């Protein structure tokens, strides 16, 4: 395989589109590692993808890890990037609970793990423990951990069992 790949201006979507053109997972991993190496050696002054979490470097590491697991035949639960929750953590927990109570999302025994597999906070990685702690804070310290006005309306309209 060629050793001088096009890094596509370090734009995440373009890099992934270029990566998917390679036929084998080995070639895809080699390409992603090259892009990551080039990003580390010659980083742009500003992240061309914006200051979004996870940043470009983190996204490349996630992609490489995902494809290496795929290559090794391991089951991979999260494909691509996570959905970033940009508002209050309390609102996230309340909304997900409402959606599960209404059966829009089928609740699983380990719902916190399921949610943390697919979502992340804007300022740090979401874990099942973060979700559990947030739910406990809302329940045990409602004067400190309040829902936004918008989420209060939703919760009051549809009910919320936390």
The burial of 72, by beta-carbon neighbours within 10 Å (0-12 exposed, 13-18 middle, 19 or more buried), is given as: exposed
Of the pLDDT bands very low, low, confident and very high (cuts 50, 70, 90), residue 117 is confident
Residue 1: predicted pLDDT: 47
* pLDDT tens readout for residues 9-39: 888 888 888 988 888 889 999 999 999 999 9
Residues 94 and 146 in one domain: yes
Of the pLDDT bands very low, low, confident and very high (cuts 50, 70, 90), residue 74 is low
Residue 161: predicted pLDDT: 66
Q: Long-range contacts: 15-18, Cβ < 8 Å, 24+?
A: 15/60, 16/63, 16/80
Q: Which one of 43, 71, 99 terminates a domain? A: 71
CB burial of 134-161 (b: ≥16 within 10 Å; e: otherwise) equals: bbeebeeeeeebebeeebeebbeeeebe
Q: Which one of 41, 71, 101 terminates a domain? A: 71
Q: Which two tokens stand for residue 63?
A: 């992609």
**Any alpha helices (H) in the chain, and if so which ranges?**
12-19, 25-41, 56-71, 89-101, 111-118, 128-140, 149-158
Q: Which one of 36, 71, 106 terminates a domain? A: 71
Residues 94 and 153 in one domain: yes
Higher pLDDT, 67 or 70: 67
Q: Is residue 60 part of a domain?
A: yes
Higher pLDDT, 17 or 47: 17
Q: Is residue 128 part of a domain?
A: yes
Of the pLDDT bands very low, low, confident and very high (cuts 50, 70, 90), residue 75 is low
């Amino acid at each position: 395989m060629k050793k001088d790949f096009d890094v596509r201006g370090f734009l995440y979507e373009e890099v992934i589109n270029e990566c998917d053109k390679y036929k084998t997972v080995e070639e895809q991993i080699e390409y992603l590692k090259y892009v990551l190496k080039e990003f580390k050696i010659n980083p742009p002054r500003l992240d061309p993808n914006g200051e979004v979490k996870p940043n470009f470097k983190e996204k490349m590491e996630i992609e490489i890890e995902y494809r290496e697991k795929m290559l090794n035949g391991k089951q991979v639960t999260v494909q691509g990037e996570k959905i970033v929750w940009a508002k209050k953590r309390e609102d996230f927990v309340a909304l997900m609970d409402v959606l599960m109570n209404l059966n829009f999302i089928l609740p699983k025994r380990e719902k916190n793990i399921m949610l943390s597999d697919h979502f992340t906070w804007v300022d740090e990685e979401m874990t099942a423990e973060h979700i559990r702690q947030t739910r406990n804070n809302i329940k045990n310290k409602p004067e400190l951990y309040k829902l936004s006005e918008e989420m209060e309306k939703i919760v009051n309209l549809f009910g919320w069992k936390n």
